[in-house]
Amino acid sequence: MKALHKLIEIFSNADHSLLGENIFRNKLVHSALEKRFPKGLKAAAILLPIIDIDGSLEVLLTKRSSHLTAHAGEICFPGGSSEKDDTDVSMTALRETKEEIGVKESDIKIIGKMPPVPTFTGYIIHPVVGVLLGSPEISIDRSEVESYFTVPLTFFMNHKNKKESLWKTNDIQLPIVEYKYQNHRIWGATAMIISLFCDRLRGAVK
């Protein structure tokens, strides 16, 4: 529990305004997004869930059901599109988490938010960081989620486990982040959010 309390302390006190989003602030990127999605990006939110397992801080991730039409079988965080009744992004993240993995709002302590991450799939993703309290019962909705697993936070904090490459789209080169944990490939927006989260933790403990 000591590590968990430390995480809450450093993340809650961190300055998230300068989170490493340089690539998303690039004028060419914004221009490409505006051209591709002239009506704007759809708002979405995810929960980045941290859980203490026998003193080890773990990141909980889900694997999307293989029958879904979009991003089938990919690794992601609990989350989804904002709905009209959602009062803020935290409510979206909490609602989606309850729907997808059955964890109630009362079992989650929100410790902070990160700046939104735009994607070339048409979404602006708002990451919400939350700690799962105690040992909450997890019951996945198999219409959306095939399975879930946890990864030690130390794995993501280790630079050796992070693979970076470039992806070219619309004559713009974007950095792609990827992690491979056991038989799981974690990439795309999920990996980028993890990378930015770890960067912020590193900056907070300096």
pLDDT tens column, 25-75: 556 667 777 778 888 889 999 999 999 988 889 999 999 876 655 555 689
Domain 2-204 -> CATH class = alpha beta
Q: Determine the distance from the C-alpha atom of residue 88 to the mean position of all C-alpha atoms in its chain, rounded to a whole number.
A: 17
Angle, helices 2-12 vs 188-204, to 10°: value is: 90
pLDDT number for residue 36 = 81
| pTM of this structure | 0.87
**Stated length of the chain:** 206
pLDDT of amino acid 18 = 45
What is the model's pLDDT at position 70? 58
**pLDDT(23) > 70:** no
3-state class percentages of the chain: helix first, strand second, coil last, to nearest 5: 30, 35, 35
Residue 59 near residue 50, CB atoms below 8 Å: yes
Kindly tell me if the per-residue pLDDT of 150 is higher than 90: yes
Strand ranges (DSSP E) for the chain? 42-53, 56-64, 75-76, 79-81, 108-113, 117-118, 123-132, 145-152, 163-169, 172-181, 184-187
Contacts of 39 (CB under 8 A, 6+ apart): none
Beta-ladder partners of 45: 80, 126
Tokens at 136, concatenated: 């909450």
What is the predicted pLDDT for the residue at 25? 54
